[in-house]
Amino acid sequence: MNTPLLLGVLISMLVCVFLTLICYGVTRKLLISRIGEDSEMLSGRIVTRLGALHALILALMFAQEMADYRDISRIVSKEASAISDVYESLQEYDEENQQSKTTAISNLIVDYVKTALEADRIALAEARLSNQTWINYHRINRQLRNLQPTNNNQEYLRAQMLKDWDIVSEFHQRLRSIAEYEAPGFFWIVIITGFFAVVIPCYIYSPNIANLAMLSIYAVFNGLVMYVIFSIANPFTGPLATDSHILVYLLKMMGSTAM
């Protein structure tokens, strides 16, 4: 059970319920004496339209952040696949009696994956890449280029490994691009303004248990959605941080191959 996630969701919901009821109470106290004959009909229409617009904005924001969140899993999978291809190609290159030249590269690839799992996760949470990652990347790239094939098979393997290693760099750069992206602050201003804009016209309705319960349900759902959007906005940290289990599996696979 993800305790930090549940705690964050609960706090977000309670805060939204509290603010909703406070807003409703204050608005009703200030405007109750100014209600006209057609106020209830007007408020109902405004709530319906503002509610639909607010829901649309929330949906668009959620969809954008979720798309980036899913992209990370796909990018990490493709990066891991490219790393695995290079590692497997090195093993095949070893069959050509070049083990002394490729073992060092294989060890560097293992170090690269370890860095991606540890230092890079911390760095990506700050919208950057670990310096050690690039040091390892360039070392591997340089040693792959320095391989000296002695037959057509080795020539093909070397060319393919360099191509796959360029793919690793490309996908890793994409991770940084996603980490650097931040939703404009005015989006949150619009979302929060919309949240209160829906609550305010509800002052026209009497504060009975049924009405307060419906307002609370509205607040609870908004609190849940806004917390999820906020959490996945930085997918490299927090209770909803993306999982790098595929890199862990890759590391175990490389370890078992090396044994």
Contact 246, 9 (CB under 8 A): no
Amino acid 24 reads Y
Tell me the two tokens of residue 250.
């890759």
Amino acid 55 reads A
pLDDT, tens digit, 9 for 90 and up, residues 43-79: 889 999 999 999 999 999 999 888 888 888 888 888 8
Which candidate, 84, 101, 112, places its Cα nearest to that of 145? 101
* pLDDT beyond 90 at 253: no
Mean pLDDT across 200-206:
90
* pLDDT beyond 50 at 259: no
Residue 256's pLDDT is: 64
Which candidate, 238, 245, 244, 243, places its Cα nearest to that of 5? 238
C-alpha distance across the termini of the chain, in Å: 35
Measured distance CA(120)–CA(176) in Å, rounded: 10
pLDDT, tens digit, 9 for 90 and up, residues 129-162: 778 888 888 999 999 998 888 888 888 999 999 9
Helix axes 99-117, 245-258, angle to 10 degrees: 150
pTM: 0.78
Task: Write down the mean pLDDT value for the chain.
Answer: 85
Contact 24, 207 (CB under 8 A): yes
Amino acid 88 reads E
Contact 239, 4 (CB under 8 A): yes
Query: Residue 115, class by beta-carbon neighbours within 10 Å (0-12 exposed, 13-18 middle, 19+ buried)?
Result: buried
pLDDT, tens digit, 9 for 90 and up, residues 218-239: 999 999 999 999 888 877 777 7
Looking at beta carbons, which pairs linking 33-42 to residues 24 or more positions away fall under 8 Å? 35/204, 39/204, 40/204, 40/205, 42/201
Query: Residue 39, class by beta-carbon neighbours within 10 Å (0-12 exposed, 13-18 middle, 19+ buried)?
Result: middle
Helix axes 39-94, 185-199, angle to 10 degrees: 150
